[in-house]
Amino acid sequence: MVTLASCNDFLEQPVDQRATLNSVEKVSELLVTAYPEADYATFTESISDLAMDKTSGSVVVEEENQNPYFFQDVPSRNEGSPTNYWYACYAAIAAANQALEAIENAPNPEDYSAQKGEALVARAYAHFMLVTLFSKVYDPATASSDPGIPYVTEPEKVVMGQYDRKTVTYVYEQIEKDLTQGLPLINNNAYTVPKYHFNTAAAHAFATRFYLFKQEYQKVIDHANQAFPGGEIESSLRPWVDVYSNLTANEGLAIYTQATQRANLLLTETTSTWARYYASYRYGLATPIVNYLFRSANVTGSSWVFPLYTQGDNNWLILKFREHFVRTDINADIGLAYTIFPLFTAEEVLFNRAEAYIELGNYRAARADLNTYASARIANYDPVADAVTTSKIRSFYGISDTKEGLIATLLDFKAAEFVQEGMRWFDIIRHDITVEHPTASGQVLTLPPGDPRRVFQIPQEVVLAGIEQNPR
| Domain assignment present for 351 | yes
Contact of 89 with 126, CB cutoff 8 Å: yes
| Domain assignment present for 85 | no
| Domain assignment present for 405 | yes
Query: Domain range for residue 337?
Result: 228-436+447-455
Please give the Cα distance from 179 to 211 (Å, whole number).
11
Count of residues in the chain:
472
Please give the pLDDT value at position 228: 96
Contact of 127 with 175, CB cutoff 8 Å: yes
Please give the Cα distance from 41 to 91 (Å, whole number).
19
Backbone φ, ψ for residue 369 (5° rounding): -65, -40
| Domain assignment present for 96 | no
Domain count along the chain? 1
| Domain assignment present for 56 | no
Cα three-residue angle 114-117-120, rounded to 5 degrees: 150
Burial 229-258 (b: 16+ CB within 10 A, else e): eeeebeebbbbbbeebbeeeeeebbebbbe
Please give the Cα distance from 40 to 43 (Å, whole number).
6
Please give the pLDDT value at position 10: 40
Could you tell me the sign of the dihedral formed by the alpha carbons of 315, 318, 319, 325, in that order? negative
| Domain assignment present for 340 | yes
Please give the pLDDT value at position 19: 62
Please give the Cα distance from 254 to 249 (Å, whole number).
9
What is the mean pLDDT, run by run of 10 residues, along the chain of 472 residues?
44 49 94 98 98 86 96 96 98 98 96 98 98 98 98 82 92 98 97 97 98 98 96 97 94 95 98 96 96 97 95 90 82 84 98 98 98 97 97 97 98 98 98 96 96 97 90 94
| Domain assignment present for 108 | no
| Domain assignment present for 73 | no
Please give the pLDDT value at position 466: 87
